[in-house]
Every structure is written in C-alpha cells, then in structure tokens.
Amino acid sequence: MSQPEDKDAKLRKAGKAILASTYEHLKKHGLGREDAREALQAALEYVAAHLDGKISPSASAHGGEGESAAHSQLPMEVVAKGGTVESYTGCLLGLALGDAVGVASYGHQVESLGELNRALGAQRPPVDEHLITASGPLALQLPGGQFGLPLGCWSDRTAAAMCTAQSMVAVGRHDPVDVLLRLLRLYRTGVGGCRPGMCPGLDAPTIESLEAFERYASQGGKRIYGRTAPAIDSSAALARVPPIVLLMAPSAPAACLAAAAENTRTTHNSTATMDASRYLAAVLAGIVVSAGRTPPAQIKELVLASRYAPAPDVWGSKPLSRDARDIADGSFRTKECPRVLRDSASEVLAQALWALLEASSFEHGIERLLQHRAGRAALSVYGALAGALFGAASLPKAWIQRVRNKEQLSNLAASLLDAAHAPPPAPPAAVPPLASPISDSAGG
C-alpha cells in the first residue's frame, strides 16, 4: 500500500474515533442532534490544542504535571451549558500573561509588546535567569521587573488564582476554607509562586486575613473571615474570581456570583470589593457560556451591555453597591482609560472592561492598557476576560512561551472544564482542620 493510502487510512481511523467518542459523550449527557455540530467543533479544538502543545497529554486530571490524565482521553470537552478548552485555557493563560506583562513593564514607559521586548532586550535570552538584559539606552544588566522577578514570571495575582483553581478542581466546588489553606501555604512557604520561599505582591489585607485565619484555625475555630479591621477596597481578590467562574458558570451562574463575593470576603470585607468581584464574575460567566457558539464581537456586545446579568434577577435580589453599579451602567465607556488612584477593585475592573471594549484582539487590549500605564492588577483581569473571549490561540505566542508554568495553567484549565460538567460532589461533614494535608501537585 502506498504512503498516501497509509496516511488516509490513519486519518479515517482517527476521524471515526473522534466521532465515536463524541457520540458517546452526547448520549451520556442526554444531548441531542442540535448539539452535535458544537460538540464536533469542540472536539476538533481540543485535538488541535493537544497537537499544538497547549495541553499536555501527560497532565493529570487535577492539573498536575507528569501524571496520566483522565481528561486527555476525551477529545470532546463541552456540553449544552457551554465551555470550551480554548476559552478556559485562554482565560487562565491570559490572566498569567497579563500579570507577567505588568510585572515586566513596571518602571518602563512602553506602549506595545514590541517596545517592551526592545526595552528588555527580550529578543535574546537573559544572561542569568534573575536578570533581564536591556538594550539601547539601557544597555546594562537590570534586575527583573517588579519585585525583581525574571521575565515571564507573574505575581501574587496569578499565584492566588492558581491556588483557587487547584482547590476548585480538588474539592469540586467552592470551599473557602480549602482556598484559604492553600493561600496560607503560599504566603508561608511560597509554594505555588514564582519565587521560592515567598510570594511577592500579597497586599496587607490578604496577609492580615491569612494570619488571623491561621490563629483561629490553630485554636480549633471555624471562623474564615478573620480580618476585623475596617474594610479596605482593594483589587487583590479579583484574580481569584476566574477559577470560580470556570467551574460554576456552566451549571450555576447565579451561585457563581455569590461564591465570588464569598471568596473575596475572606480577605477583603469591603462591600465595594465584593460587588466588583460579583460583576467581574457576571461578565466572565457570560463570556464562558457563550464561547465557541457566538462570535467574540457579539459576546462582547452582550456582556458589556448595561447591567448585564448571566441569570435572572441576580441584581434585583441583591443590588450592586454604588461603585459597581456605576460600572454596570457603563461608566467605563470613556474616550480615555479610567484612572486608578487607589487600586480599588472597581477602578481596576473599570480599566479592564474599558480595554475589553476597545480591543479588537487580545494583544490590542494589552497594548491599550500599556499606553495608559496600567499595572498588573488591570492587565491580569483584562487578560482573563480577553483570553476567555478570544481564546488561547489568540495569545501572543512569543509571550506565552515566556510565561512561567504555562503547562500547569493549561492543565488546570482543562481540569476545571472537566469538573464543571461532572456531577456535583457531596458537601463535607465538617470544616477541615488547619493541618489538613494539601499535596504540592497542581491539583491536590
């Protein structure tokens, strides 16, 4: 048999395997003929992601590295409720990429990724992993970006998002105690961050809340809202919202908003901050459930409309406070980028939504934020939104190659998609103690 015939036979065999697996998945979830086209499209996206190396075939079902993967056996990852590998992977990788760009651009006046590359000498590898080689007027060895981190590293924003994602995958639902345990380990040991022994960038309210939680838990208490100081409006908790949305939005969009607020409250007990998290969850939920079915431009028009809600009566039953309500009413629709004066959650969310409104592509929105000197807070929130909207394939390849732990992030995204469509787990009988073991693997 000739070589072309051998290849054709292999292609036919692969096609039949994809069709058979898609059919079995449709039947298992009670889906019908009208869902078949979307299922096949998702199957092709998933296979392409594997072949392009965006999802590691050796990843574990909990997002770990170097273990066999249950999810890698399935070429189709979508049900009628929505969600695609491309969107989920784009969301987490986009968040990390935006964070990494914010860290690298700190202290540099650049207006595009190209300018940032030139300013950092990123066309050639740095001579030391803890140094970035600058060129032109900065032709000397400079420490890494913000916090002295090497190029491609991200801050506490991505680290906290990963802690939340690992918890959601391991537990199968939002468990604020489990998330706090993982954040506490991040704070105390740096495990899960980009720098061994520490996690740079954690803000004072987060640290105070984790230390208070640690004190209560070590005494056998169950209090998770440890911080009793006056409420402070900060953007730090926004980065923990995307994993909650990825797990819960396809099946429980209204509950997803409540979980986002509950998660935020554990470290930032300001009503304004919690409501900013709720509205971020609403917009991201709308993107996630529509991705792969509706063109990005139409999705953007939908979720950026006045007081968008992914479920009926979510704002009527629990109205938004003033700052979040202004954003929901479109205060971010301005000619110039909204200013961030005090790193409040609402200010950062307004910047991210402004960039999403302006953006014709993922990179375009990043550059619009760079032009207005936005920091890692807005860049990471925008990255999560735009990554989910435009998909993983839209992310700048040169920068994705630099992002630290990109494979782990991709595997977590795939595991969240698996978990989003799995039967809900039974609630725990009791709150776990502080000494509960947490594996150092990506998902455990």
pLDDT at residue 56, as a whole number: 42
Instruction: Give the residue, 146 or 240, on which the prediction is more confident.
Output: 240
φ, ψ at 46 (rounded to 5°): -65, -45
Mean pLDDT of 34-57: 55
pLDDT at residue 16, as a whole number: 66
Cβ neighbours of residue 235 under 8 Å, at least 6 residues apart? 273, 276, 343, 344, 345, 347, 348, 349, 377, 378, 381
Mean pLDDT of 131-139: 31
pLDDT at residue 221, as a whole number: 57
3 has a pLDDT exceeding 90: no
What is the number of alpha carbons within 13 Å of residue 238 lying toward its C-beta?
A: 35
204 has a pLDDT exceeding 80: yes
Distance (Å, whole) CA 23 – CA 316: 41
145 has a pLDDT exceeding 50: yes
Mean pLDDT of 238-259: 96
The confidence band for 33, taking pLDDT boundaries of 50, 70 and 90, is low
Angle of the 406-420 helix axis to the 156-171 helix axis, nearest 10: 40
Mean pLDDT of 362-376: 94
195 has a pLDDT exceeding 90: no
Q: Cβ distance 326 to 349 under 8 Å?
A: no
The confidence band for 428, taking pLDDT boundaries of 50, 70 and 90, is low
Mean pLDDT of 339-362: 94
Distance (Å, whole) CA 417 – CA 38: 16
pLDDT at residue 327, as a whole number: 97
pTM over 0.85: no
Mean pLDDT, the chain, rounded, equals 79
The confidence band for 163, taking pLDDT boundaries of 50, 70 and 90, is very high
In 3D, which of 253, 305, 322 has the Cα closest to residue 281?
A: 253
pLDDT at residue 352, as a whole number: 98
Q: Which segment of 10-14, 72-76, 301-305 scores lowest on mean pLDDT?
A: 72-76
Mean pLDDT of 181-200: 86
Distance (Å, whole) CA 105 – CA 432: 41
Distance (Å, whole) CA 290 – CA 279: 17
φ, ψ at 142 (rounded to 5°): -110, 145
Listed in sequence order, the DSSP H helices in 81-203 are 85-105, 113-120, 156-171, 176-189
User: Which tens digit of pLDDT belongs to each residue from 64-103?
Assistant: 333 223 222 223 333 334 679 999 999 999 999 999 999 9
User: Which tens digit of pLDDT belongs to each residue from 228-244?
Assistant: 555 678 999 999 999 99
**In this prediction, what percent of the chain has a pLDDT beyond 90?**
53
In 3D, which of 382, 442, 387, 434 has the Cα closest to residue 411?
A: 442
Task: Label residue 131 exposed, middle or buried (CB < 10 Å: 0-12, 13-18, 19+).
Answer: middle
Distance (Å, whole) CA 401 – CA 267: 32
Query: Tokens at residue 441, please?
Result: 């693997």
Residue 331 three-state SS: coil
49 has a pLDDT exceeding 60: no
Mean pLDDT of 329-342: 93
pLDDT at residue 429, as a whole number: 54
